[in-house]
Amino acid sequence: MAEDIQSKLEKYRTAPFDARFPNQNQTKNCWQNYLDYHRCQKALEAKGVDVAPCDWYKRVYKSLCPLSWVEKWDGQRDDGTFPGKI
């Protein structure tokens, strides 16, 4: 399984089509992948497992989200004021 993830990450160019977000506006897709990355990381770290599979979500949100949003959300997470459930 790890080989499959690694090969997908190497071939990764930009966010693939996600049927949950069929419209041009990808704001929700950006938000969901940001949350999924941090949830994945938290869950796998709690189990003591390698967090490499979470890199997929990070790459997707990095390609969809404006840098200013990510910086704002990271700051909110650090301050404990982030509105999402992670």
Cβ–Cβ < 8 Å for 27, 18:
no
pLDDT tens, position by position, 2-24: 567 666 656 666 677 677 777 77
Number of residues assigned to the chain: 86
86 closest CA partner among 48, 33, 50, 49: 33
Q: What pLDDT does 26 receive?
A: 83
Note the pLDDT of residue 2.
57
What is the pTM assigned to this prediction?
0.78
Which residues of the chain are modeled with pLDDT < 50? none
